[in-house]
Amino acid sequence: MVKMLLLVLSICFGLTSCMDFDESTLITDDNGKVHHTKHYLRDRRGKNYFPKEIKATGTKEFIFDPKASVWAAYDANGVLVMTGSGSGGKDFCEDVGKPCRTVTGSFHVYNKRGLECKSGEYPVETEGGAKMPYCMYFYRGFTIHAAYEVPEYNSSHGCIRVLPSAAKWLNEQFITIGTHVTVLSYQDEDGDVDWVNVKAPQQAATGQ
């Protein structure tokens, strides 16, 4: 019995170590520094925030809430598949001298690129070039992409930043051209009516 327990613990430790050092958890910033980030399967942010099921729309759904800095992925049947940390656009960006919140509303992914994706706008000094690995465009220049910093507040120029391993999973295994994207309202806005209507009837009724 003891040998069996030790074997199980050894396997679990091995899997955990593999997860921690999965290459998708590594990301290189614009200065060439490599950052080791949390694996998306270890990311607890958002786990208890979203309903387990929403009204099925027949298409996959990616939902981001800038009020809580979290995202959720639902399959075409409205079943919650994954959640994770996200960081949207700041109220004001000093380098461009204007607000840079993430656009809110309902959109669809129309283009996506892989690991080598880069911004066409930032940094402003060079008119682009900032790394945006696994970018997924859903409205004009707004994308969902990997970042080494995904704080519990909005910190970007407008894009939705997610953990590198999450961006890879979303890009390669979940999001396709046409996937529906919903960006909920900011704290001082009141634009989540459509999201409330999308919730599964029993959850909308109980407010879960």
Task: Render pLDDT for 113-127 as a digit per residue (tens, 0 to 9).
Answer: 999 999 987 877 776
pLDDT digits 0-9 by tens, 77-86? 999 999 999 9
If pLDDT is split at 50, 70 and 90, which confidence band does 4 have?
Answer: very low
The model's confidence at residue 18, banded by pLDDT at 50, 70 and 90, is low
* Model confidence at 192: pLDDT above 90: no
Q: What is the pLDDT of residues 101-155, one digit of tens each?
A: 999 999 999 999 999 999 987 877 776 788 999 999 999 999 999 999 999 999 9
Look at residue 125 in the predicted model and tell me its pLDDT: 77
pLDDT exceeds cutoff 90 at 30:
no
| C-alpha to C-alpha distance for 150 and 86, rounded to whole angstroms | 6
What pLDDT, on a 0 to 100 scale, did the predictor assign at position 206? 44
Tens of pLDDT, residue by residue over 34-43, are 999 999 999 9
pLDDT band at 199 (very low <50, low <70, confident <90, very high): low
pTM: 0.84
The CA-to-CA distance between both ends of the chain, in Å, stands at 43
| Residues 107-127 as b or e (16 or more Cβ within 10 Å = b) | bebeebbebebebeebeeeee
The whole-number average pLDDT for the span 165-170 is 98
| H helical segments located in the chain | 2-20, 164-169, 193-198, 201-206
Task: Report the pLDDT value the prediction gives residue 195, as an integer from 0 to 100.
Answer: 77
The first and second tokens of residue 119, run together, are 């911004």
* C-alpha to C-alpha distance for 201 and 144, rounded to whole angstroms: 29
